[in-house]
Structure 1
Amino acid sequence: MSILSFSVTEAAHNGGFFTVDLIHRDSPKSPFHNPSLTPSQRLNNALQRSFNRVQHFRLWSPQLASADIIPTQGAFLMKISLGTPPVEIMAFADTGSDLIWTQCKPCDECFDQKSPLFNPISSSYKAIPCGSRQCQSLQDTYCVENSCQYDQGYGDSSSTSGDLATETVRLGSTSATGLQVSLPNTIFGCGHENELAFSIAGSGIVGLGGGSVSLISQMGASIGGKFSYCLVSMSAQNTKSSKMIFGGSVPKSPDTFYYLTLEGISVGDKRLNLYNSTTPSNASKDGNIIIDSGTTMTVLPSDLYHRLELAVKNVIKLPTIKDPEELLHLCYSNLADKDIPIIAVHFRGADLKLNPLNTFARTSSSSRCLAFAPDDDLSIYGNMAQMNFLVGYDLQKKTVSFKPTDCRRQ
């Protein structure tokens, strides 16, 4: 079977978009898959990773040189190929960071991975010279013999460092059988010293943030600065992959993170506004909640969360139970969908009505818990709340859009 390749510009002209699989880390298609775990055990592991991720999001600020997140705590992987001839890599897709990188030969200090290390003898590999605009596009670069070097730190004291280079990146498109999308001269990190808790699975990161070296930004005008994803429900992850769509089908952002402005939340007809006398002053700012595909639950300001919890209790007239894993706060035994009220999230410019699959997590065979958590320092709109929505990003207009969608059919 021959594999055809076309450029991202041609892909954009060819129907305006192309699609790739997003593989949940617990999917049978993932190198992290553990077939002995039950669905509720996988969910609880995802929640624990998410709470760890929140701890490190809390450390981030625009003034810090390190990314201060844990990419290995992310939820979704992408297959990409690097070089000529192409070498397939399974890497974490991360909207919270920018740099694309993988482990490279020779590796002075590397973590174990299942796939071979990338060898920079590829005919399309080009080292980036010192003093070039490309070298200056990333923080914490330095020079060794006129070769641009990078040093990327993360919040758990993990790091990657090596050569900043350009290479041909290929994405396997699912929008046209047998086709690959080719992205020549893509800036990436060829890591020779790497410390990350990847075990023997993933090989690197695909940065999808808002900074200049992210995959999205490097695709540039060819996709119109637009991408979207459609996350399948947890119950469908064993048989269906979520999708990431680059380009024109997509219906407030500083570098790296994508922000929305949260105004309130409703339980049935009862609206709970974010702002009141006890709301922290930073919560009223534009861009007060991060949208993140790597965090499972939604994290709200503590005051709003506690009002949400009380409003849900007032509607669900059933005894509460303790979360068996002690991760979430409001839980019920044998809770049916018909007993769960409609919860709506009010963003500036959009009101999203969430279904039970978005708002209650099945933490055991008999228990379901409200998939929200309180935090005094930051707010995150997590991936459970995004499931079965087409979530579109427009970097040029700096907007995020939502469209209810059966993501199994994408």
Structure 2
Amino acid sequence: MEINNKSFTLIPMLVLLLFVHFSLISCGENINSFTLDLIHRDSPLSPFHNPSNTPYERLQHALYQSFSRASFLKKKYVNPIESTLIPSGGEYLMKISIGTPPIDTLVIADTGSDLTWTQCKPCVNCFKQLTPIFNPKKSSSYKTIGCNNKLCQGSLCNNSRCNYEVSYGDQSHTMGDLSIETFTFSSTSSQNVSIPNIVFGCGHDNGGTFPNVTSGIIGLGGGNVSIVNQMHQQIKGKFSYCLIPLESLLDNSNATSHINFGNCATVSGPNVVSTPLIKKEPSTFYYLNLERISIGNRTVEFNSFPVVVGGDDDPGNIIIDSGTTLTYVPDAFYLNLESMLILSINATKKDDPSSSFRLCYESNKNGTIDVPKIVAHFTNADLELSTSNIFTKVVEGIVCLTIVPGGNQISIFGNLAQANFLIGYDLKANKVSFKPTDCTKY
């Protein structure tokens, strides 16, 4: 949380757009344990879905958002005061209800942002939204945060109310009252999960490039004010997700990814590997330590490159980000990895028609290529990746490497590499666990 001498200032980042409805499954669901469907913005179930777009056009859109997202994350890491956030550039939406009685709305779900906020009446300046703007005067559970609250130290107050301000590099912004409210999530079985006393921003002055199907952002990052940490007692610091492969999304599949909280989020059983979750600044990010990547019997060391500020000995050299499509690595590491793949793959090299990727091959009749065993060696966890985790079909007959050079400031383990793993975050034990899973059937 960044605080200046004028206002309560939080610098969130957009990781993913998330359209979520609660679908409670049989794992002892209650306020301490629940599972959600994650609907990608290009899915037929999404309000953003354009049925006239081809799979190739959907892929190009995902790649554009990934490049924008990676650019933002790098600038956020180096200089957390500024961002180049494009608020409409995420992947999923989340459906929530706010207040008492609960008012339904759609928000951008952001695993790299801490503050949750929504547009509120009265509006000094609000962007257009399809759902009604939240009116705090009609909620019996709404409370503002006073100037003496520790969250408001050194910030601007107005009429004894703590103010917040979030500014984005693309001139988008939100300003309003830092407040407390009850958030409710509804299941398809008409059960409700209500979490009281959630700190959020009630935005009275908001503008920029936010899409009209949303009303704000819900923060799922690692900071203290994120909704994940605010629900810590209920969910015991645990959440997990299972992301379906990109091909399922691009082919108009109705298959959905899932995210779990609490007891449902425990990742256990055969083939589970776990690696430490490393705490460092900015606290919003989820940091892991990647030691090397091996292709067959060839290996490239990862920690010999300056992947983070602080040098080789600084642990936590890569962030795991469910909202970035591609995996970004240091330039020097990429060159060595590319050379190793060229030596290991017996296939015809091709040029990417969009010029987005450096290493592409002609695919076989199954739409893929034969690659030796691929392992990402995290601290205490050897994660075996499938070919589809690092190569994807960009057009018919051509697949390209989705690990790309990203400079030397920060590295990102993206969601293509995470597909078909059940990935569990235990913020109490400070670890992330991976279990190979067919996420289309999970």
TM-score by length of 2: 0.83
Name which of 375, 379, 386 aligns with 2:411. 379
1:290 aligns with 2:319: yes
Stretch of structure 1 that moved more, 351-360 or 293-302:
351-360
Distance in 1, Cα, partners of 2:217 & 2:66: 17
Find the counterpart in structure 1 of residue 245 from structure 2: 233
| Superposed counterparts of 1:80-91, under 5 Å | 80-91=96-107
Q: Structure 1 residue 295: deviation in Å?
A: 0.4
* 1:326 counterpart letter in structure 2: S
Find the counterpart in structure 1 of residue 170 from structure 2: 156
Distance in 1, Cα, partners of 2:304 & 2:46: 44
Q: CA RMSD, aligned part only?
A: 2.5
Distance in 2, Cα, partners of 1:23 & 1:239: 9
Name which of 238, 243, 247 aligns with 2:262. 247
The 1:141/1:74 distance shift into structure 2, 3 A limit, reads farther
Check conservation: 2:177, 2:201, Cα contact below 8 A. yes
Distance in 1, Cα, partners of 2:147 & 2:78: 24
Distance in 1, Cα, partners of 2:311 & 2:289: 12
Which whole-Å deviations, capped at 9, do the CAs of 1:140-186 have from their partners, x for residues lacking one? Answer: 84210101110012343322111111111112346xx3322100111
Check conservation: 2:305, 2:312, Cα contact below 8 A. no
Distance in 2, Cα, partners of 1:17 & 1:154: 34
Find the counterpart in structure 1 of residue 118 from structure 2: 102
Stretch of structure 1 that moved more, 293-302 or 185-194:
185-194
| Superposed counterparts of 1:92-241, under 5 Å | 92-121=108-137, 122-136=139-153, 141-173=155-187, 177-237=189-249, 238-241=253-256
Unaligned runs of 5+ in 1: 1-5
Find the counterpart in structure 1 of residue 14 from structure 2: none
Find the counterpart in structure 1 of residue 343 from structure 2: 314
Q: Structure 1 residue 135: deviation in Å?
A: 3.5
Check conservation: 2:113, 2:221, Cα contact below 8 A. yes
Distance in 2, Cα, partners of 1:15 & 1:171: 10
Name which of 421, 424, 431 aligns with 1:389. 421
Distance in 2, Cα, partners of 1:148 & 1:403: 43
Q: Among all aligned residue pairs of Structure 1 and Structure 2, give the percentage whose two residues are the same amino acid.
A: 47
The 1:68/1:220 distance shift into structure 2, 3 A limit, reads farther
Check conservation: 2:77, 2:410, Cα contact below 8 A. no
Q: Structure 1 residue 52: deviation in Å?
A: 0.8
Distance in 1, Cα, partners of 2:329 & 2:79: 24
Find the counterpart in structure 2 of residue 58 from structure 1: 74
Unaligned runs of 5+ in 2: 1-21, 268-277
Which whole-Å deviations, capped at 9, do the CAs of 1:364-410 have from their partners, x for residues lacking one? Answer: 22321111111222100001111111111111222111111111223
Give SS of 1:156's match.
coil
Q: Structure 1 residue 216: deviation in Å?
A: 0.5
Name which of 390, 394, 403 aligns with 1:359. 390
Stretch of structure 1 that moved more, 11-20 or 90-99:
11-20
* 1:379 counterpart letter in structure 2: S
Q: Structure 1 residue 278: deviation in Å?
A: 8.1
* 1:125 counterpart letter in structure 2: Y
Find the counterpart in structure 2 of residue 41 from structure 1: 57
Q: Structure 1 residue 68: deviation in Å?
A: 5.7
Distance in 1, Cα, partners of 2:89 & 2:255: 21
Give SS of 1:198's match.
coil
Distance in 1, Cα, partners of 2:51 & 2:384: 34
Name which of 350, 358, 368 aligns with 1:337. 368
Give SS of 1:80's match.
strand
* 1:165 counterpart letter in structure 2: S
Check conservation: 1:282, 1:288, Cα contact below 8 A. no
Q: Structure 1 residue 134: deviation in Å?
A: 4.4
Name which of 43, 57, 65 aligns with 1:27. 43
Check conservation: 1:278, 1:303, Cα contact below 8 A. no
Q: Structure 1 residue 256: deviation in Å?
A: 0.6
Distance in 2, Cα, partners of 1:359 & 1:239: 23
